[in-house]
Amino acid sequence: MSTSASDPAAAPEAAGPAEPSGLYDLAVIGAGSAGLAGAVTAAELGLSVALLDTATGTGGQFYRHPAPAAGALRPEALHHDWSAYAGLRRRLEASTVTRLGGHHVWTVSREGGSDSRESGSAGGPAGGFAGGEGPWTVHAVTGADGCAERPVRVRARAVLLATGAYERQLPFPGWTLPGVVGAGGAQAMLKSGLVLPGKRVVVAGSGPLLLAVASSLAAAGARVPAVVEASGYLAYVRHPRVLAANPHKLAEAALHGGILLRHRVRLRTRSAVTEVHGRDRVEAVTVTRLDRDWRPLPGTSRRIACDALAVGHGLVPQIELATTLGCATRATPDRTTALVLDDLQETSVPDLWAAGEAGGIGGAQLARAEGELAGLAIVSRLRGRPARGGRVGKLQRRRDRMRAFADAMAAAHAPGPGWSRWLTDDTDVCRCEEVTAGTVRAAVADLGARDARTVKLLTRAGMGWCQGRMCGAGVACLAAGAGPGEPPAERRPLAVPVPLGALAALDGAAVGPVGEGPSAGPGDGPAA
Amino acid sequence: MARARTPADLVGAQPGPPFEITFDGRPVSALPGQSVAAALWAADILAWRTTRVGGRPRGAFCGIGQCYDCLATINGSPNRRACLVPARPGDAITTQEGHGHEHLGV
C-alpha cells in the first residue's frame, strides 16, 4: 500500500479532548505496535485517548518508514508483516484518537500528592482512581528533536507506557569510529531515510535482529561480507516446545535465512568483531572466534575489509518514565531490566499500564497483543468492571506463548561473561564522556567501585548526553567484575534533555486544557 | 526480496525534486523526507561533530535519537540531533566542535 497520502500522526489538526475539562481517559506514550493497538482498542470502546510519540509518524522503530514526502510506493519492501501495521493505521485514522507527534515525554506525574505506590489497585471505584488519586499529567517538549521549547502537558485518568526499546551496545576497540553504527541504527536510517552507511557493511553482535538487519541491507543494495553472531543458534533447540508453539517465528527466520543465502552472506557464529581499523572512518574489522563464555580465542582472528559495521547486542526496554515513578522491575534472561506487569499489563503503580518491549523484549506481534490487552483492561478499570471474557483470555494465552519464546531467545543471546577480554585499556567505554576501559577498571580495582552508579560518580561514565543508554551495559559488567552486571533501574527526573526555557515555562502555569496545547496555533502553550 | 540497486529502488520511492543544503559551506543534495543525517550519509559524509575531549570525529550511531552522537550545528544552533531533524532547503550544517558553545567562552 502507499503511504504517500498521509501519515496519521503527521496530521496537522488534532482533535481536542472529549471533555471540556481537558482530561483524557487515557494517554498512550509511544505510537509503535503496542501503543497503536492500545490506543485504537480503547478509543473504539469509547474512551477519549491521546497518543504521544517523539516521531511525527506512527509505527515506532519496527514499522519505521519514510516520511510521506519521500513518496515511497512500496514501504512494505523493508518490512516483515506490514499488513498488521497497515490495519492498525486504518483503525487509527477512523478513530477519535488525538495524535500528538513530535512530543518527547520527559516525565509523568500524578496529581493528589500522596505516594501512589502505597495504595492498592484492586477495586477502584467506578470511573474513579485507585486509592483516590488524581489524574496523571504527562509532560512533553515538542519539535522534531525536542528543541521547540514549547512545553505541553496532557492530563489523563490512565496512562499506557508503550515506550519500546533501544539497542544494547557493548564496547570494543574502534567502536567510536565513523562508519560504526548500531545494527538497529543502520536499519532505522535505511527504513526512514533510504540510506546506507557504506557499500560493504559487516553486521555483528548478537540477537535475532542481526539477521533482519543483514537481509534488509543486502536487499537494499549493500554488500554484506559477513554476519558475525557471538552466540550460537543451537541454544534454541533446548526449547523445542516453545519453538513448536511459535511457528511464525520459524517462518520469519527462514525468510531471512533465504535472503542471506541468496545474497551469499556468510554467517559466522560464536565470533565477534574485536577491533575496528581505520583512521577517520572504518576500513576493516577483525573478527575473532569466541568460546562459550564469549572469551576471544587466541590465533583465530581474521581481517575483513569493509567500509561500515552495523553492531548491536539485543535490545533494552526503555523504562525510565516508569522507574522514576517507582514501578517494580525484573531482570530478564538476557540481563536487561524490564517492568513487572500483572496479568492485565498493569505496572506495580496503580492506573499505570505498560505494553510491548517495556515489559521485556518480545517483538512487534507480542507488542500488539499486549497493547490490545492493556486497552481492554483500562476500559474495564475506568468503567469499574472486571476485565474478562473470551478476548481477554485469548490475548493472555497469546501473550504467554510469545513471552515464552522471547525468554528462550533472550537466554540464547545473553552476553557471555568473557566479552570484556576484547577491551583494551584505551578503548572508550562511555562514548559521550570519552571514559576509557582503563579508567573504569581503575575505579573498580583501585577505588572500590562495585556498581555502575559508583563508577559514574568516580569517572563520569554514563553522565553524558545519552545518560548511560549506550555504555550502561558495558559499565555495569565491568563494575560487577565476574558477576552478571545488570544495569541498574535508574530513576531520572528528566527522561530526555529539556531546554531550560521549557522548565521555566512550567513555573506558575496552570495546567491548561490539553486540546489547546500542542496542535493548535501559536501562543497556546501554558503561560510562562 | 531481490537485490535492489539502491534503497529508493527497493521501496519504489518517487520523492519530489532534490534540494540543496550545505555542509561546512559545500553543497549537498537532499531529498524531501530525509533527515539531516540521512542527507549527509547519502553524500558519503559520516562525521559532523568532533568530541570535547579527544577532538575525534563522530556522526550518527543509534539512528533513533537515543545516543546523541549525531549532534550537529544546524543554521547556527548547536546540539541538534541530525538523525531526527528533517533537512530543509537551504539548511546550513556545520561541524560541531566540542560542546558547540565555543563562542560563549565556556
Domain boundaries, chain B: 17-97
Of A322, A296, A252, A276, the C-alpha closest to A179 is A276
Give the Cα separation of A117 and A348 in Å (integer): 7
Given a contact cutoff of 8 angstroms between Cβ atoms, the answer to whether A345 and A324 are in contact is no
Mean local confidence (pLDDT), A23-46: 98
Give the Cα separation of B34 and A72 in Å (integer): 12
At residue A491, the pLDDT reads: 75
∠ CA(A65), CA(A12), CA(A509), 5° rounding? 115
Mean local confidence (pLDDT), A172-199: 97
| CATH 3.10.20.440 corresponds to the domain B17-97 | yes
What is A48-81 written as a DSSP string? -EEEE-SSSSSSTTTT----GGG-BS-GGGG-SS
Domain A8-166+316-387 identical in fold to domain A173-313: yes
Mean local confidence (pLDDT), B97-103: 86
Given a contact cutoff of 8 angstroms between Cβ atoms, the answer to whether A130 and A104 are in contact is no
At residue A489, the pLDDT reads: 66
What number does CATH give the domain A173-313?
3.50.50.60
CA A506 and chain centroid, separation: 28
Q: Which of residues 87-106 of B touch A (CB under 8 A)?
A: none
Q: Is the pLDDT of residue A522 over 80?
A: no
The side-by-side arrangement of strands in the sheet containing B49-50 is: B57-58, B49-50, B96-97
Between A515 and A395, the more confident residue is A395
Q: Is the pLDDT of residue A324 over 90?
A: yes
B21 in reach of chain A (CB within 8 A): no
Given a contact cutoff of 8 angstroms between Cβ atoms, the answer to whether A75 and A14 are in contact is no
Contact B13 A70 (CB under 8 A): yes
Contact B41 A167 (CB under 8 A): no
What's the CATH superfamily of A423-487?
Answer: BFD-like [2Fe-2S]-binding domain (1.10.10.1100)
Query: Residue B82 to residues A71, A362, A422, B56, B61: CA-CA distances in angstroms?
Result: 21, 29, 31, 18, 11
- Pick the range with the lowest mean pLDDT from A127-141, A215-229, A512-526: A512-526
* Grid cell digits, residue A49: 485517548
Mean local confidence (pLDDT), B6-11: 93
Contact B7 A196 (CB under 8 A): yes
At residue A82, the pLDDT reads: 94
What's the CATH superfamily of A8-166+316-387?
Answer: FAD/NAD(P)-binding domain (3.50.50.60)
Q: Is the pLDDT of residue A129 over 80?
A: no
pLDDT category, A472, cuts 50, 70, 90? very high
At residue A505, the pLDDT reads: 76
Adjacent-strand bridge partners of A229: A205, A269
Q: What is the number of alpha carbons within 13 Å of residue A3 lying toward its C-beta?
A: 35
At residue B106, the pLDDT reads: 65
- Closest CB to A431 among B31, B63, B69: B69
Mean local confidence (pLDDT), A523-527: 34
At residue A71, the pLDDT reads: 92
Q: Is the pLDDT of residue A115 over 80?
A: no
Mean local confidence (pLDDT), A2-29: 56
10 Å Cβ neighbour count for A291? 12
Give the Cα separation of A108 and A320 in Å (integer): 10
Average pLDDT, chain A: 87
- Pick the range with the lowest mean pLDDT from A30-39, A106-115, A333-342: A106-115
Q: Is A442 exposed, middle or buried (0-12, 13-18, 19+ CB in 10 A)?
A: middle
pLDDT category, A480, cuts 50, 70, 90? confident
Whole-prediction pTM = 0.90
Residue in B with minimal Cα distance to A167: B62
* Grid cell digits, residue A158: 490512565
Rounded to the nearest angstrom, the minimum Cα separation between A167 and chain B is: 8
Between A179 and A239, the more confident residue is A179
Q: Cell 530526555, residue?
A: A496
Domain ranges in chain A are: 8-166+316-387, 173-313, 423-487
CA A509 and chain centroid, separation: 32
At residue A487, the pLDDT reads: 63
- Pick the range with the lowest mean pLDDT from A25-34, A86-95, A402-411: A402-411
At residue A402, the pLDDT reads: 96
Given a contact cutoff of 8 angstroms between Cβ atoms, the answer to whether A32 and A162 are in contact is yes
Given a contact cutoff of 8 angstroms between Cβ atoms, the answer to whether B3 and A263 are in contact is yes
At residue A482, the pLDDT reads: 61
Given a contact cutoff of 8 angstroms between Cβ atoms, the answer to whether B59 and B10 are in contact is no
